[in-house]
Amino acid sequence: MLDLNRSLRLVEEHMSKKIEELVKENAELFHSLILFISVLGFVAYIVVVFIAYVGDTKWGASLTNAMQNRTLFNLGLPCSAAGAYAVVALLLHVFPPEKHQGSIKFTAFGLEFTGPAGPITFWVVCFLSFIAAIKILS
């Protein structure tokens, strides 16, 4: 009976390790997929805007007129959002934050952020600084 319990415990430990590996592998795959879709959407947006400005099409003329009236709003906001995401994703990839009991812990300027609050706060700060720079320079 003891050998059976011991064998069951070993099987449970082995299966739990396999499940953890699968979850970690799927999380990385999901992150890569979201990043790819985001980059693809941004590139598609840039291509459509470029065709609208350079090309001579019917829909391009109306799009160009609409975009020229509010260029900062139409180009500045999406580019700032993508740029802020790129900065946060790059820094999180190059300098991963410390793990604390399975959640991300981030400390900056005396404030402590746990879970997704750190990257989200950093994205908001980057985005607002890009928008402020666009507003100041225009």
Q: What whole-number distance in Å separates Cα of residue 89 and Cα of residue 75?
A: 21
pLDDT band at 101 (very low <50, low <70, confident <90, very high): low
Structural domain including 119 reads 70-138
Q: Is there a contact between 35 and 27 (Cβ–Cβ < 8 Å)?
A: no
Q: Is 84 exposed, middle or buried (0-12, 13-18, 19+ CB in 10 A)?
A: buried
Assess whether 77 and 107 both reside in one domain.
yes
Domain's final residue, options 69, 93, 125: 69
| Cβ neighbours, 10 Å, residue 60 | 16
Q: Are residues 40 and 75 in the same domain?
A: no
Helix (H, G, I), strand (E, B) or coil at 98: coil
pLDDT of residue 8: 66
pLDDT of residue 97 exceeding 90, the answer is no
User: For the residues 13-21, what does the mean pLDDT come to?
Assistant: 71
> If you write DSSP's letter for every residue of 99-115 in order, what string do you get?
EETTEEEEEETTEEEET
Between 50 and 101, name the one with better pLDDT: 50
Mark whether 57 and 79 lie in a shared domain: no
Q: CA dist 71 to 25, 59, 61, 85, Å? A: 42, 17, 15, 21
pLDDT category of residue 135 using cuts at 50, 70 and 90: confident
Q: Between β-strands 103-108 and 111-114, what pairing exists: parallel, antiparallel or unpaired?
A: antiparallel
pLDDT band at 98 (very low <50, low <70, confident <90, very high): low
- What pTM does this model have? 0.53
